[in-house]
Structure 1
Amino acid sequence: MRLLPNPERAWERAAHVEPLDRAGIERRVGPFTGEAEVLSGGRANVNVRLGAERVLRVYRRDPGAAPKEASLLARGWRSFRVPAVLSAGDDFLVLEYVPHGPLQDTAACGAAAGRALAEIHAVGFESAGFLGPDLAVAAPFADCVGALRAHVDAVLDRLAPAVRGALGERVGAFLDPNAGALHALASAPVLLHGDFKASNLHWLPSGELLVLDWEFAYAGPSLMDVGQLLRWSPGPEFVAAFAGAYRAGAPLPDGFERWAAAFDLFNLVGLLEGAEPGSRRASDVLGRILATTSQPVETTRL
């Protein structure tokens, strides 16, 4: 059975990321026996499995994301699983460890992802923006698409000149003619997971979807999450089942795959920041950006 496509599994870890040593773990959870297994980590956070039942999740970039994520995990989701929060501190959560496997490229998994995302997106907001720990919009965007475009421009400005020039022109030539349609599609902000991709979606023996890593959640256009899920081109059965299940709980526009890819450009350009030139990450992301922007603009009109 084929796994959901995910080139990000092979991306290089940043060599300069500071590891979390045993003393750092025990400052947060107290003395413990056994080994500590690093599950994942980077600039934003690090996740360490402690024994068979606990995961320590430390928020390195934004400790304020911990209470927001704790609130999201405690919402009582019906169509998917999340880990329980066992304890919390200033910059960490201790979470239940839920045994799981990778998401498969099947209709069953596509339908589960569609049900989950429709339930998440059923939470609406009056304006897009960043969320506070009470899950209200604490920092609204006056213009959501404008804010996303400003983020893209800021990232492009920090890239190497040889990359910045050609890439900026290509991305701008794609986004600018579609600005009106993107604004229309972003007009009803919803709760976004913010990182709804294969790396954070897992399959349980019970046939349930497990959704992890909510720290980037915010209020914004639903197609941002859809674009992340479909970024690496899952199979047609997965996509069809996803769309059918999603539409049972939330609206999905005609041509959603193309528009989701357009919204994912905002995410993809952000992934270039900090990527080493010539790395797998840089190569995969640039390839996806070029594939998206190579489609004629005329075919993307609503």
Structure 2
Amino acid sequence: MAESASLFARKLRAWRAGAGIHGRITQEMLAERLGVSVDAVGKYERSASFIRGDLEHRLADELGWSREEILACREDWDARRQEPRKGAYRLLDDTLVGEVYGGSWHRAARASIVLANEEFGVLPEELAPNEKVFLPIYETYRDHWAAVMRDGRMVAKWALPFLDFEDEALFRAGRLIEAELSVDRIRRPILPGTYYGYSPAVVVRPGHEAAGTLLLSSFVRFLEGLANREVLLHGIGTVSVSPGGAQICRDIGMTRLGSHCLDPDFGVWELPGAAVPKSIFARRSTILRRCYTEAFGT
């Protein structure tokens, strides 16, 4: 197969060549195992398509692939789909940081805070996106936030630092003040276990709703990477400061715990770990569905 073949295509062909006791496994036999058509298998092996998310578990169940192997295939496929053409949405990476921000992740992190301020408008200073607070956090925990770019402009972002136990309790009580956060109050997920993720900002510029798909995919990959290290979230929390933000929380499957102490219209929302298997994230990832079901039940 040509060098440009996807990792998924190469692995499937290699598996077929080596799985048969009396010779190669045919495409028909592989299609039956995966629950897809023979035409679909042909497209997989030609690097023309990738298996649907709700069928990924069959790669593990029927072919014996590990979660890491499946994730690597999907990441390779996603990377192949993100062509750097004009007008395309692209996930911020080292290449784009070099092109747009002169190679400085510091400047990129600052741009993400500017984006949040522009879209959120005027907020109480206790909850307003604060460069002094979040710039050190984003620089220290660079893998805990992501952004989508289009034609050199940042149009969407998410962030998810992990709160310490005291701040988690304050958040649940509606009394967390973002302006008081600092790097030393953020937990680093070094060891396996459960943590609490807090999202200070999920932002999509008006007119760039299509960027939301790429943003969601990057967040799912982030959670999968953690799950592969046995790092799970027993909760994901955020504060909605607008009707649109509250609707996003509902769409994700979050539950409103109450109001924030600064304003009764500001909602305190949470997605418990036990709710992840039925969330939009698990619908896009069999890895998350399995890991969170095993850890927290359904």
Counting helix residues as a fraction of each chain, which structure ranks higher? 2
Larger Rg: 2
Does TM, normalized by the shorter one, top 0.5? Answer: no
Q: Give the number of the structure with larger relative contact order, counting CA–CA contacts within 8 Å between residues 6 or more apart.
A: 1
Q: TM-score normalized by structure 2?
A: 0.28
